[in-house]
């Protein structure tokens, strides 16, 4: 499967019944339908807080789904600091760019918000697997991320 952002081959990493597809080049993450909710539940986050809402006013380029190749919709996650995600209207998959996973989970409450992600076993695993650069709030600068487009 190819990265919808930079077209590199995605790598698959499985942990605790969650299979994530990660881009080793730009640091983005692909979630099949239901995987984000599963991850949120394991981190103690509320699924309602992580529900996507329309982000049609977002000027970021629309990406193609790596599964079905349909153009994905821009959706916003969280309220305080909305994160723009790409959601496939056909297969329900979700794409998050580098650094956006913890931002989304932190807005859902649970142990990620309470500890800043430092003590959550699953977040510690994600940091170790994908690198702190890809998961921290100090995410890749916008100019560097856009270089992959």
pLDDT of residue 135: 47
CB atoms under 10 Å from CB of 55, counted, come to: 18
Does any domain span residue 145? no
Beta 94-96 vs 83-87: how paired, if at all?
A: antiparallel
Residue 53, exposed/middle/buried by CB under 10 A (0-12, 13-18, 19+)? exposed
Mean pLDDT rounded to a whole number for the chain = 76
Distance from chain centroid for Cα 58: 17
CA proximity to 23, closest of 41, 46, 43, 6: 6
| Number of domains, the chain | 1
Does any domain span residue 43? yes
Which position has the higher pLDDT, 67 or 78?
67
Q: Which two tokens stand for residue 114?
A: 């309470």
Name the pTM for this structure: 0.76
Give the domain range for residue 90.
11-136
For 91-116, the pLDDT digits (tens) are 999 999 998 887 877 776 555 554 55
Does any domain span residue 30? yes
CA dist 26 and 24 (Å) reads 6
């Amino acid at each position: 499967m190819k990265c919808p952002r930079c077209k590199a081959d995605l790598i698959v990493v499985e942990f605790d019944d969650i299979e994530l597809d990660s881009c080793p080049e730009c640091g983005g993450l692909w979630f099949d339908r239901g995987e984000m909710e599963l991850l949120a539940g394991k981190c103690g986050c509320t699924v309602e807080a992580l529900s996507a809402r329309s982000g049609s006013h977002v000027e970021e380029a629309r990406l193609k789904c790596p599964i079905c190749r349909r153009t994905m919709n821009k959706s916003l996650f969280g309220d305080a600091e909305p994160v723009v995600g790409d959601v496939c209207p056909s297969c329900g998959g979700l794409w998050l760019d580098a650094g956006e996973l913890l931002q989304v989970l932190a807005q859902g409450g649970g142990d990620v918000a309470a500890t800043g992600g430092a003590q959550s076993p699953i977040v510690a695993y994600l940091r170790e697997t994908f690198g702190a650069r890809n998961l921290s709030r100090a995410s890749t600068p916008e100019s560097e991320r856009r270089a992959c487009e």
